[in-house]
Amino acid sequence: MTYFKLAQMLRDDCKDSIAKVRCYDEIKGGVSGGTIDTMLTFIDGQYKEPKYSFDPYYKKVDGSKSRNKAKDLSSQFISRKKEDGSEAKWANPFVMSTVNSEVVKRSHALDDSVDGQALTYAESNVQVSFKEAFVTWFSTLFGATALLNPVTGLPMKKFLLPKPGEGPKEKDMEHGYLLVSGVGEGAKGSKVESEFYFPGDPGYRETARMVSEAGLCLALDSDKLPVQGGGFYSPSVAMGDALLERLCRTGCKFASRVVHIQDGKLHSKL
């Protein structure tokens, strides 16, 4: 949805096409046992990628291959967040960036308004200090290494990690949240920014609310949807602003602005 709104603003307000997207996530929440189980499936090599003539995420509605290519440039190391006019913070790799980049790739491939426009995507997890970023990065790296080791991996799966259906305690979920700060740049140099806030635990409460609102949107708001009929779409392509409106009515906060350079001066449009 962040990509969708950034692309929309660049197209409608800047007469530009989206070329770069960067997302900075601030997260507090528990870990889902189901999510860990999915990750372990990939780590254990149990999932086998089917063979296709080309990446199916690039397949358009008519079956042809989209010319809108997207590339994930998310850093796998600790980096410094630097954006014009904002405080520099430290960031480390976000474990879900690979999944999210595939969703963005699908949305971009189906955007007929940017025929042939290449896109780069990057996502990271913002921390308050270098120390916090290093500890989080090292802990993730250490944990993944331990899981891959047959000696330590089996005890971890059996005794330490939550099972599918298990997750954080109710008390812990009350203090969870997710803030996604998005920055989009156009092919002509235009720049747009957004903030997307989720007030609950992102892995459980917010995921459940998003799934529920998406189902209600498909069932009750069909006259507002940008796509009519079935198919394999990302949420933003299938439901667009209709889904965003529902999410904001039930707890989310979304804000955006267009930033562009004109006559050597910085202008903003909220």
> 140: pLDDT confidence band, cut at 50, 70 and 90?
confident
Q: What percent of the chain has pLDDT over 70?
A: 91
Total domains in the fold of the chain: 1
CA distance 251 to 41: 33
Q: What is the pLDDT of residues 171-206, one digit of tens each?
A: 777 788 999 999 999 999 999 999 999 999 888 889
Range of the domain at 90: 2-269
For residues 264-270, give the mean pLDDT: 54
φ and ψ at residue 182, rounded to 5 degrees: -110, 145
Report which of residues 127 and 119 the model is more confident about.
119
> What pLDDT sits at residue 269?
58
Q: What is the dihedral of CA 12, 16, 18, 20, to 10 degrees?
A: -130
248 and 217 Cβ atoms separated by less than 8 Å: no
Closest CA to 169 of 204, 142, 141, 131: 204
Residue type, 107: S
Q: Answer yes or no: is pLDDT of 104 > 80.
A: yes
- DSSP lists the bridge partners of residue 24 as 124, 181
Q: Answer yes or no: is pLDDT of 62 > 70.
A: yes
Q: Answer yes or no: is pLDDT of 263 > 50.
A: no
Q: Using DSSP bridges, classify how beta strands 70-72 and 119-127 pair: parallel, antiparallel or unpaired.
A: parallel
Q: Which of these ranges, 76-85, 95-104, 205-214, has the smallest mean pLDDT?
A: 76-85
> What pLDDT sits at residue 115?
86
> What pLDDT sits at residue 76?
85
For residues 256-264, give the mean pLDDT: 70
Residue 72, SS3 per DSSP: strand
Closest CA to 105 of 247, 233, 243: 233
> 244: pLDDT confidence band, cut at 50, 70 and 90?
very high
Closest CA to 1 of 217, 228, 150, 262: 217
